[in-house]
Amino acid sequence: MHIPLIEQSYAALPELLYTRVEPQSVAAPKLVIANDALAAELGIDRDWLHSADALQLLAGNVAPSHGSVIAMAYAGHQFGGFNARLGDGRALLLGDVLLNDGTRRELHLKGSGRTIYSRGGDGRATLSAMLREYILSEAMAALQVPTTRSLAVVETGERVFRQRPEHGAVLTRVAKSHVRVGTFQFLAARGETKAIEALMAHEIARTMPEVSGAREFLAEVLSRQARLIAQWMSFGFIHGVMNTDNAQIAGETIDYGPCAFMDGFDPQKVFSSIDENGRYAYDKQPTIGLWNMTRLAECLLPLLDENREAAIKIAEQELGRFMPLFEMEFEKRMLAKLGINELSHAQFITETLQHMANAWADFTRFFTALTRGDDMRSFFISDLAHDEWRAEWNILRAPEATALMQKYNPVYIARNHRVEAALTAAENQNYLPLHQLLDAVQNPFTARADLVQFENAPDAQEEVLQTFCGT
């Protein structure tokens, strides 16, 4: 059995960026689910992942051999309000593993207990919240959207109290890096320009080695964010909590709290139970992405130019690229979903989405039906609206439309009602619905007769209207 080598490269950064922590043991750890396919990608031996030694490590009961477990410090704008000191309040960075291609992935425990950043919280996580992240992150990965991944969920044998007592659990999250816009804000709020430069150099070396200097760094980060948000929206995904501490520098989706894939299309749809003003609604996500990138640019001003006015001008030039990059990626993907290969027909996207909104058409089933050549009338508010739209589509669609649509239109998404049903069953120690759902969403573009129930939109009584962060 091969034991993975875990190193703690983050500890080479300035010490104000982290705090060393002693793992807090849990009573009776039990492996609930392990991601064998991801383990293989990471070069982690399957036998080790399912071993007693791995269980103790992934439960947070023991430290890796390097002995330097840390909680990361960061700040963040949360729903627009700035908090200068957040940090890993219920998480620990175990370290990173080296892949065969020379890149690294960090292993991060979520729900591992209190740290100095817990702000009065218990530092723990519920089984349902951690399994939810496992499902959503694996669904996102299968859609080929950049994302953090889930290696394992371990039940702790302890109860966690939220609205009610629930089973406790620890998730092992895998990421290129856990550095966020909020990490840079943490340093900027303290005037730590040298540390900002060191952190930037760390991220460049780790996730974007082709980049050189602060301007290229800013350009690369905002480019990744623009493309990422376009990918989310092309699948009807709403992140739900796009705070700057959840905007990852490497460009992966991070923090699957109050997020969801839409059923009926509504551009103003919000899922987060605490987003009362719709700050993070579906159609606000590009604007918020730019807002977050502006906060990063503010942190980088001293590195962009010694003259502040010149630095601001550079930042504004780079930030000006964000919306065109987003629009280009979104239009390309949405036209592909419609079987159209000419970018000059972008207006047809707006027309289609307006029809969908008028009829509250199911986002995923609309495009699946189109791909299959099904009758589309039920997705429109009237036969006339359908016939006019269909006539225009027949003119615009590409000769290879079906192949194009099959590549961009999933049959299965992690529908909210299916996720909730799987989590409810898991709370009662029934994991069959969880594995059935994962079977569907981990192969989202291939229809299977035995999984047809996972295509269906929820009935009125099944619809999930709000999701929660789980803290």
Give the Cα separation of 83 and 432 in Å (integer): 41
Give the Cα separation of 275 and 462 in Å (integer): 22
Q: Give me the phi and psi of 329, to 5 degrees please.
A: -70, -45
- Residue 242: closest CA among 288, 198, 283: 288
User: Contact, 140 vs 115, CB < 8 A?
Assistant: no
Alpha carbon separation from 105 to 65, 120, 134, 208, 313 (Å, rounded): 17, 30, 17, 14, 35
List the structure tokens of 238.
């709403």
Report pLDDT for 3: 77
List the structure tokens of 376.
């589309």
Among residues of the chain, what percentage have pLDDT more than 70? 98
| Cα angle: 194, vertex 197, 199; to 5 degrees | 110
User: Contact, 115 vs 71, CB < 8 A?
Assistant: yes
Report pLDDT for 1: 62
| pLDDT interval class at 159 (50, 70, 90) | very high
Mean pLDDT of 110-139: 94
> What's this model's pTM, rounded to 2 decimal places?
0.96
Give the Cα separation of 346 and 337 in Å (integer): 12
Q: Per-domain residue ranges for the chain?
A: 9-175, 181-329, 330-408
Kindly state the helix (H) or strand (E) to which residue 198 belongs, with its residue range.
helix 193-207
Residue 471 pLDDT > 80: no
Report pLDDT for 469: 52
Residue that is written with structure tokens 């036209």 in the block: 335
Report pLDDT for 68: 86
Residue 465 pLDDT > 90: no
pLDDT tens per residue across span 61-83: 999 988 889 999 999 998 889 99
pLDDT tens per residue across span 378-411: 999 999 999 999 999 999 999 999 999 999 999 9
Report pLDDT for 80: 85
| pLDDT interval class at 211 (50, 70, 90) | very high
Check the CA dihedral 458-461-467-471 and report its sign: negative
Check the CA dihedral 359-360-365-367 and report its sign: positive
The verdict on whether 101 is a catalytic residue reads: no
List the structure tokens of 287.
């604007």
Residue 278 pLDDT > 90: no
User: Contact, 441 vs 399, CB < 8 A?
Assistant: no
Mean pLDDT, rounded, of the chain: 95
String of DSSP letters for 284-323: GHHHHHHHHHHHHHHHHHHHH-SSHHHHHHHHHHHHTTHH
Least confident of 237-246, 351-360, 370-379, 452-461: 452-461
pLDDT tens per residue across span 218-276: 999 999 999 999 999 999 999 999 999 999 999 999 999 889 999 999 999 998 777 87
Give the Cα separation of 131 and 88 in Å (integer): 19
Helices 308-319 and 213-234: angle between axes, nearest 10 degrees: 30
Report pLDDT for 302: 98
pLDDT tens per residue across span 301-357: 999 999 999 999 999 999 999 999 999 999 999 999 999 999 899 999 999 999 999
Determine the distance from the C-alpha atom of residue 89 to the mean position of all C-alpha atoms in its chain, rounded to a whole number.
19
Residue that is written with structure tokens 């029934």 in the block: 430
Q: Give me the phi and psi of 420, to 5 degrees please.
A: -65, -40
Report pLDDT for 236: 98
CA count, 13 A, side-chain hemisphere, 393: 23
Q: Give me the phi and psi of 439, to 5 degrees please.
A: -60, -40
Mean pLDDT of 170-183: 98
Mean pLDDT of 160-176: 93
Report pLDDT for 468: 55
Report pLDDT for 399: 96
Mean pLDDT of 120-140: 95
Least confident of 145-149, 161-165, 328-332: 161-165
Report pLDDT for 164: 87
Give the Cα separation of 102 and 300 in Å (integer): 28
Give the Cα separation of 210 and 216 in Å (integer): 9
Check the CA dihedral 129-249-281-149 and report its sign: negative
Alpha carbon separation from 262 to 265, 268, 289, 455 (Å, rounded): 6, 11, 19, 13
Catalytic option among 245, 255, 263, 275 = 245
- For residue 448, what is the DSSP state? -
